[in-house]
Amino acid sequence: LSLALFIHCFCVAVVLGSTYVRSALQARLVGIFGPYTEALAFDPGQQIPYYYTHARLQDEDATLQIDLYADGQLPVARQKLLATVDFPSPRLSRWLPDYQRSMRLVRRLATYADEETGDENLSSMIARDIGARVLREHGAGRAVVRCTRHGSQGLRAGDEPEDALVYEADVWIDETGKPEVVKRLSAAEVAPGRNQGTGGRGQETGGRTP
């Protein structure tokens, strides 16, 4: 029993103690413990931002505006706009996990939309999934998904917030019922240049991992 307790405490201490920056040794150890600590969610730090903010661009709020159109096969220029849906919905309470989860997902989309440090496949995957879900909920066939990053007011006067369109894509349901996505533009094409990583020491989730 003592041995089991020691091994367990050692595993927990190593994974939690090296959540954001890991040495090669720690990464090797965590790789060994992985099946145990990940299965029991003892290693949540890399997925959940317990720092809340590092005041970087990717920590800013981001929301989606989704224009809905009826026909999945026709281009939007030849269709009438059915409705525009906000994601997360402003009607949801910000105290609810639903709203907070939606905001984290869109923040992630905005982060992956960055031309230099992002990943276009992942940003398009998120846009496709959210777009397809909203299409199904509203019985529409095609959507234009726009991601806007909302700047925050600075602590001192004169530092006023700006909004920036960072991603735009067409999402539609094809003949087989499968959602498709095509990106229209991204941060480098539309957003005014702001320094990615301002104030932060880590990367997407706040850390440098090997």
Of residues 147-186, which lie at the interface with another protein (CB under 8 A)? Answer: 150, 152-156, 161
CB 202 within 8 A of CB 20: yes
Residue 78 DSSP code: G
Work out the end-to-end distance of the chain between its first and last CA atoms, rounded to an integer number of angstroms.
34
In the region spanning residues 122 to 141, those forming contacts with another protein, defined by CB under 8 A, are 122, 125-126, 129-130, 133, 136
- Please identify, using beta-carbon distances, which residue of 61 and 79 lies nearer to another protein: 61
The SS3 of residue 4 is helix
Among 98, 115, 174, 189, binds another protein (CB under 8 A): 98
- Please identify, using beta-carbon distances, which residue of 65 and 79 lies nearer to another protein: 65
How far is Cα 84 from Cα 89, in angstroms, rounded to an integer?
11
Would you give the binding string for another protein spanning residues 46-65, x where CB under 8 A is met?
A: xxxxxxxxxxx--xxx-x--
Among 104, 120, 180, 184, binds another protein (CB under 8 A): 104
- Smallest distance from another protein to CB 72, Å: 18
Residue 146 as a binder of another protein (CB under 8 A): the answer is no
CB 166 within 8 A of CB 113: yes
- Which of these segments, 3-11, 73-81, 169-177, 187-195, binds another protein (CB under 8 A)? 3-11
Radius of gyration of the chain (CA): 20
Cβ count near 72 (within 10 Å):
18
- Which of these segments, 67-75, 76-84, 100-108, 186-194, binds another protein (CB under 8 A)? 100-108
Residue 13 DSSP code: H
Would you give the binding string for another protein spanning residues 23-42, x where CB under 8 A is met?
A: --------x--xx--xxxxx
Which residues contact residue 12 at a Cβ distance below 8 angstroms, ignoring those fewer than 6 apart? 37, 42
